[in-house]
Every structure is written in structure tokens, then in C-alpha cells.
């Protein structure tokens, strides 16, 4: 089984805008926490596309192990 690459053991805190985002699920993107197409090398993962409905602070998962992708659920604290 291919494991997701843990990038950091804390969330990425961003100022969310009203728009669509592509969150990197594989951990290989050089534009973390967003997808840059790196997943296409292995074809094991796909980005999580989500539309942010309101402006404000968002905590996106940095460990890639969240149970609620793309959002941080605190899983990093048990790694």
C-alpha cells in the first residue's frame, strides 16, 4: 500500500478566499498545501478539490493523514 507523505506535523493556516482550491493529498507538491500536479508521477493519489464558501482562516492538513480532508482534524498530534 502506498502511504501519503507527511509534509509537516501541523496544519497550514491560510487566509481563505471565496474560490476553488486543490489540496495536495500525496505530499509531493512543492506548492504545499496546494496541488502542483506531482501526484501524476505515481497516479496513486488525486488532489482534493474544494470550494471555500466564505473568506476567513482555514486550517488545512499538513500531515496528509486527516480523516476529514483537506481540513486538519488534529491527527498530526498522534503521529
What pLDDT shows up at residue 3?
A: 59
Does 6 have pLDDT greater than 90? no
With a CB cutoff of 8 Å and minimum separation 6, the contacts of 77 are 9
CA-to-CA dists, residue 30 to 33, 38, 48, angstroms: 9, 8, 16
> Where are the chain's structural domains?
12-78
Does 1 have pLDDT greater than 50? no
> Is 0.95 topped by the overall pTM?
no
Average pLDDT over residues 16-33: 94
24 touches 39 (CB < 8 A) = yes
Q: The C-alpha cell of 46 is what?
A: 488525486
Name which residue leads in pLDDT, 53 or 6: 53
Measured CA to CA, the distance from residue 66 to residue 28 in angstroms comes to 16
Amino acid at each position: 500500500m502506498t502511504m501519503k507523505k507527511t509534509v509537516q506535523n501541523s496544519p497550514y493556516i491560510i487566509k481563505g478566499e471565496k474560490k476553488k482550491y486543490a489540496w495536495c493529498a500525496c505530499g509531493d507538491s512543492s506548492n504545499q498545501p496546494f496541488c502542483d500536479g506531482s501526484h501524476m508521477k505515481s497516479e496513486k493519489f488525486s488532489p482534493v478539490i474544494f470550494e471555500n464558501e466564505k473568506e476567513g482562516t482555514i486550517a488545512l492538513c499538513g500531515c496528509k493523514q486527516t480523516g476529514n480532508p483537506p481540513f486538519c482534524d488534529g491527527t498530526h498530534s498522534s503521529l
